[in-house]
Structure formats: structure tokens, C-alpha cells
Amino acid sequence: MQLVRQKRNMGARRVRVIVAVLVVAALGAGCAAEGSGGARPASPSAGAQAGRGPGAAKEEAGASGTLAAHLEKVRRNQALRAAAARKWGLARTPLAAPPPPAVKPRITTRKGFEVKGGESLPPVFTTVPTKEKIVFLTIDDGAEKDPELLRMMTELQIPYSAFLSDYVIDDDYGYFAKMRDAGAALHNHTLNHRYLPGLSYAQQQREICGQQEKLQKRYGTRPRLFRPPYGNYNGDTLRVAKSCGVEAVPLWASEAFPDHMEWREWDRDLHPGDIILTHFRGKGDWKGTMPDMIRRVMQTVTEKGYAVAKLEDYV
């Protein structure tokens, strides 16, 4: 009898431990999934608050209720994401990114990408240092303004960052305001998309800092990130960028098209923290629409077991 009761207790304890592990796992995925939609800042999880301070036992009942509600929200969220994946013709449901790190990783310039005397300048990199199976999606220029893209990314809860050139967005700034409102961060890709190493310091200043001003005036936030057109830059580029508020210069490890991927690395594969480049382009420029391109890149990302995380959570 004693033995049986002990066994049962042990069993119950084991179940509790398993439940706790599941709750923690689900919380992680859920918070990330919520945050990746972008619009709402992630709130501290109920689990982190439970059991702290006086009267913890009394709070437990309330906390487990909160947890249950949170879990239900996570479950609903994933179901919505799966439904969106079916609706938009994705072969698999995109994986939820892990919760963002409490402290952003220290990022340094990739070997071979340095400029002379550039130690104190914004780092130039193609991959964010992380062990998580995550990648980052970045979309450049801004010529194609497909409303389907905004709907698709919101419904699929896929985070992305836009690097905008004024000369292609100036016919419809409103499109990118909607993008910002949906949670995407808007960054600097110069005023006119010139080949920067061919320009003087003053000309680069106008191209880079001019776009900092424009984006801040239009969208209310001064970009922290800058990507030089074609990935070409020199020491002046980084000095100018730093002078007007740029903190980092993310390039890319691979590039996505509607019908294929192009790879920087010899192994032609994704790696934790890789930045993926693609463009705002339509059928006039390449063989497909923006949603076609997203379907293709997400197939690669999800099949390889990666989730898309929010670049600004890490950089």
C-alpha cells in the first residue's frame, strides 16, 4: 500500500515535471511567435512572474490560470499560422523563432570585410553570431509594392526588415508606412542606390545621411542599420554612416529569388544567424511575384529546420 502510494506520488511528480517542461517550451515558442508578428512588444511571460515575491502560493492559482490562458493563445496562434500556410500555398508551416536573447550578441566585422582603420566603425557582417537555428529575412530597394506581401507576412507571422532606397519608394511612401505598422523595421539603403566607392565623402554623406533624414521624417524613426547598394563600400562609407547614426552594416549570406537561392558560402547551405537578402521585385523583374519568392525561400528555410527571427532583436 505504502509502496503503491509512493509509486503514484512519483508518477504524479513526473507528470508535473513533464507538464512544467512542456509549459516552458510552449511559452518560449509562443512568445517568439507573438513577437515575430512585430506590432506588439513581447510582454514578460506569466511563468517568469509566477512564484516571485510574498504570497506566492496564493498567486499560484492565478498564475496557472494565466498560464493556461497563455498556452491557449499559443495554441490558437500556431493554428492560425498553419491555416495561413495552407492559404498561401506553403508546403510547411513556418517554424516559430525562439524568444529573443536578453542581451544582443557582440557583432564584429567579418574577416575579409574590414576597412583600414575601421576598428571603431559600424561592423560589416553577413551572419549574426548565434547557436539558434534561425535566419533573418531582409528585403531591399522598394520598387515593387505588392499589398499581397504585407497580408501574407502578417498572416504567416514572418518577421523581416526592409532596406529602402528613396528613388524607388518615393511614388508610394504610404506602402512602407503600412509595412512599419505591421511590425517591419525600415532601414537605410541610400537615396539613389549609387555605387558608393565611386563617390566622394561629401557625395556619400548626401546619399547615406540624406536617407537617414528622409526615413526619420517620413516614418518617425532614425534607422540604426544601413546596407550599401550592391554590398559595395569603402572606409568613407562606414565613417559617413557612423556620423549620422548607423550602428551596424548587415550584408547577406544568401539571396532568395522566386525560383532559386544564391549562396555566398562554398557549402551552399544555411547556417545559424545567416542573413538572407531578397528584393521588392515583381513579375517584370523576375520569374514570379513577391508571394512566389516568399513561398520559395520559406520552403528552403523550413525544410532545413530554421525559423525566421527578427533581425532587430539581435542587432
Write out the residues near Zn ion by the rule CB under 5 A. Answer: 140-141, 229
Q: Least distance (Å) from Zn ion to the CB of residue 145? A: 15
**Residue with smaller CB distance to Zn ion, 140 or 274:** 140
**Residue with smaller CB distance to Zn ion, 195 or 201:** 195
Question: Phi, psi (5° rounding) for residue 258?
Answer: -65, -20
51: its cell numbers: 512564484
DSSP 15-47: HHHHHHHHHHHHHHHHHHHHHHH-SSPPPPPHH
Q: Least distance (Å) from Zn ion to the CB of residue 311? A: 16
Pairing label, strands 307-309, 134-141: parallel
Pairing label, strands 261-263, 254-256: antiparallel
Q: Least distance (Å) from Zn ion to the CB of residue 279? A: 7
281: its cell numbers: 521585385
Q: Least distance (Å) from Zn ion to the CB of residue 266? A: 24
- Give exposure, 43-76, as e/b (b: 16+ Cβ within 10 Å): eebbbeeeeeeeeeeebeeebeebbeebbeebee
Q: Least distance (Å) from Zn ion to the CB of residue 35? A: 28
CB-nearest residue to Zn ion: 140
Q: Least distance (Å) from Zn ion to the CB of residue 141? A: 5
Q: Least distance (Å) from Zn ion to the CB of residue 161? A: 13
Pairwise CA distance, residues 297 & 94, whole Å: 11
Tell me how crowded residue 6 is: count the other CB atoms within 10 A of its CB.
10
Helix and strand counts by DSSP (H, E) for the chain:
10, 9
**Residue with smaller CB distance to Zn ion, 163 or 306:** 163
Contacts 24+ apart (CB under 8 A), 115-119: 115/233, 115/234, 115/235, 115/238, 116/235, 117/235, 118/235, 118/238
Query: Angle at the Cα of 221 (from 217 to 227), degrees rounded to 5?
Result: 100
Q: Least distance (Å) from Zn ion to the CB of residue 229? A: 5
**Residue with smaller CB distance to Zn ion, 141 or 207:** 141
**Residue with smaller CB distance to Zn ion, 123 or 228:** 228
Give the position of cell 515583381.
282
**Residue with smaller CB distance to Zn ion, 136 or 306:** 136
Q: Least distance (Å) from Zn ion to the CB of residue 207? A: 12
**Of 278, 269, 276, which is closest to residue 311 (Cα–Cα)?**
276
**Residue with smaller CB distance to Zn ion, 63 or 143:** 143
**Residue with smaller CB distance to Zn ion, 133 or 189:** 189
- The secondary structure of residue 273, as a DSSP letter, is T
**Residue with smaller CB distance to Zn ion, 140 or 207:** 140
Residues sharing a CB contact under 8 Å with residue 80, sequence separation 6 or more, in sequence order: 155
